[in-house]
Structure 1
Amino acid sequence: MTDTAPEPSSDTTSFGYREVPTEEKVGLVGQVFSSVASRYDVMNDAMSVGAHRLWKDKFVRRVKPRGGEAILDMAGGTGDIAFRMAPSGAAITVSDINPDMLAVGVERAKKKGIEGLGWSEQNAETLSFADRSFDAYTIAFGIRNVTDIPAALREAHRVLKYGGRFFCLEFSTTVWPGFAEVYDAYSHHLVPKLGKLLAKDEDSYRYLIESIRRFPDMPTFAGMIRDAGFTQVKAEPILGGLVAIHSGWKA
């Protein structure tokens, strides 16, 4: 990877390749997702050539939701993961910090005839749920947008029951020779242009690509999950690590 950014200080954090005051990041990320909410799924199809659907299917198979379970789908926004888990009969709470993303999800659920989902506006770093409330916690393509990732992981651990499981689907760093360079060229040059064409928002999609580049690699993120208190932490790479499913258990 050739793109670099300055190391953040204690009172700043990364917003793509920029360093911004920590207290401003939530608002900036909120603006991004409010801007793209109505076209988010269309852009996901365009950016991944539809592959994100297969990744999400695989993710839910790893979660193995079951009837009677309580599951928190954090950063669940438009409902993609929750809709896949709904047939299991689990009690699913879809949470997101962005009300515009939640509104899209609620409308999509109505159109699909999916009932029984809970919808809750939540900050992943400061969840309002009680300790040991959920059997499983899922987050797909959301953790990298959190300002304080360790805090979000600790909150995930807190709200899980003993024996509860944590699953995270997120972009990472591919280790396939040559593929990283090809994907870098595609993502940095073409994706923002697709954002401009399909979502009328080039800057937001430039940030989304930059946020992927700033996210820790698989071993580093696995270490962060362990530090939050999880055991049996695993990282399952997809496309050599371009995307990864991280998992852990609350012992």
Structure 2
Amino acid sequence: MSTPETVSFGYADVTPAEKTAKVGAVFSSVARRYDIMNDLMSAGAHRLWKDDFVGRVRPRAGEAILDLAGGTGDIAFRLATSGASVTVADINADMLAVGEERAAKRGIAGLTWRAANAEAMPFDDAFFDAAAIAFGIRNVTDIPAALRDIHRVLKYGGRFFCLEFSTCEWPGFAKLYDAYSHHVVPRIGQAVAGDAESYRYLIESIRRFPDMQAFAGMIRAAGFSRVAVTPILGGAVAIHSGWKL
């Protein structure tokens, strides 16, 4: 399939190459403060969302599981407690470095860390029992290509789970959330990470991401079956899932 001429970077439309470079710069800038910022921006709720997410993945001992855009290891650490063999893949070397340091400090061994572009991963066909991506898919340059490659690396009968910000369908809360996101989050980013612009992009990228049903359609188009979506906070966050059947 052809590569789109332009893709979204926040509210701007840029070439695919520009987006890849710009997103890389954003995450290199925020890598060291990424988890602290997640706590501040969500009042710690992201930890509960991730616990729920991993519970739905249902990792089991002996399985091979891909944690894509795994960055600082938050999802991988949770998956690894099951005894599964977890591969953490991320395109950003700075995020991977933070994750490996955190794993070493916590004494978490046995994780595999790989630099990988989600659109063309260096893994064999039908290799993983499950694939998970949390708060990463919206930053991928070519999302349909990434979904197709996730489908490729899963075994038949394998499952895919995605945790991502989406579009809140609670009108009153949506207005409050929108105001908080656009006006407060960049200020927190400046105060804590010294980088308001990167967090402004992250909020804008949420606004440009497809709504729950549109993204579910993209997952189906990539070849997945039994696609489902579970909204959180009226859809401000959503867990999508699909199976390779």
Asked if Structure 1 and Structure 2 have the same fold, meaning a TM-score greater than 0.5 normalized by the shorter chain, the answer is yes
Aligned residue number for residue 150 of structure 2: 156
Could you tell me which runs of 5 or more consecutive residues in structure 1 were left unpaired when the two chains were aligned.
Answer: 1-8
RMSD of the TM alignment (CA)? 0.9
SS of the equivalent of 2:79 reads helix
Q: Distance in 2 between matches of 1:87 and 1:141?
A: 21
For residue 43 of structure 1, what is the aligned residue in structure 2? 37
SS of the residue 1:136 aligns to: strand
1:194 counterpart = 2:185? no
Instruction: Letter of the 1:91 partner, please give it.
Output: S
Shift of 1:21: 1.6
Per-residue displacement from partner, 1:135-160 (whole Å, max 9, x unpaired)? 00000000000010000000000000
Aligned position for 2:59: 65
Match of 2:230 in 1: 236
* Superposed displacement of residue 177, structure 1: 2.4
**Paired position in structure 1 for 2:140:** 146
1:23 Cα offset (Å): 1.5
Please state how far the C-alpha of 1:22 moved relative to its aligned partner: 1.7
Cα distance in 2, alignment partners of residues 53 and 158 from structure 1: 29
Which of 163, 168, 174 in structure 1 is aligned with 2:162? 168
The answer to whether structure 1 residue 99 and structure 2 residue 88 are counterparts is: no
Give the alignment partner of residue 78 of structure 2, picking from 65, 84, 87. 84
Residues 187-245 of structure 1: per-residue CA shift (max 9 Å, x gap): 00000000000000000000000000000000000000000000000000001100000
Which of 183, 198, 207 in structure 1 is aligned with 2:201?
207
Deviation of the 1:98 alpha carbon: 0.0
Q: Which runs of 4+ in 1 moved over 3 A?
A: none
Q: TM-score, normalised by structure 2?
A: 0.98
Separation in structure 2 between the aligned mates of residue 232 and residue 14 of structure 1, nearest angstrom: 29
User: 1:56: which partner in 2?
Assistant: 50
Give the equivalent residue in structure 2 for 1:4. none
When residues 10 and 155 of structure 1 are mapped into structure 2, their CA distance, relative to the original with a 3 A threshold, is closer
Residue 180 (structure 1) aligned with residue 174 (structure 2): yes
Aligned to 1:6: none
> Which amino acid letter does the alignment assign opposite residue 132 of structure 1?
A
Equivalent of residue 211 in structure 2, options 207, 217, 234:
217
- The one-letter code matched in structure 1 to 2:154 is L
| TM-score of the two chains, using structure 1 as the length reference | 0.96
Secondary structure at the aligned position of 2:118 is classed as coil
1:12, CA displacement in angstroms? 1.3
Q: Deviations over 1:161-204 (max 9, x none)?
A: 00000000000011112010000000000000000000000000
Stretches of structure 2 that go unaligned for 5 or more consecutive residues are: none
Secondary structure at 1:182's aligned position in 2?
helix
Q: Distance in 1 between matches of 2:72 and 2:125?
A: 26
Letter in 1 for 2:238: A
Measure how far apart 1:13 and its partner are: 1.1
Q: Which residue of 2 aligns with 1:15?
A: 9
SS of the counterpart of 2:105? Answer: helix
1:7-26 CA-partner distances (Å, limit 9, x unpaired): xx941111000111222111
Deviations 1:12-70 (CA, angstroms, capped at 9, x unpaired) = 11100011122211110000000000000000001000000000000000000000000
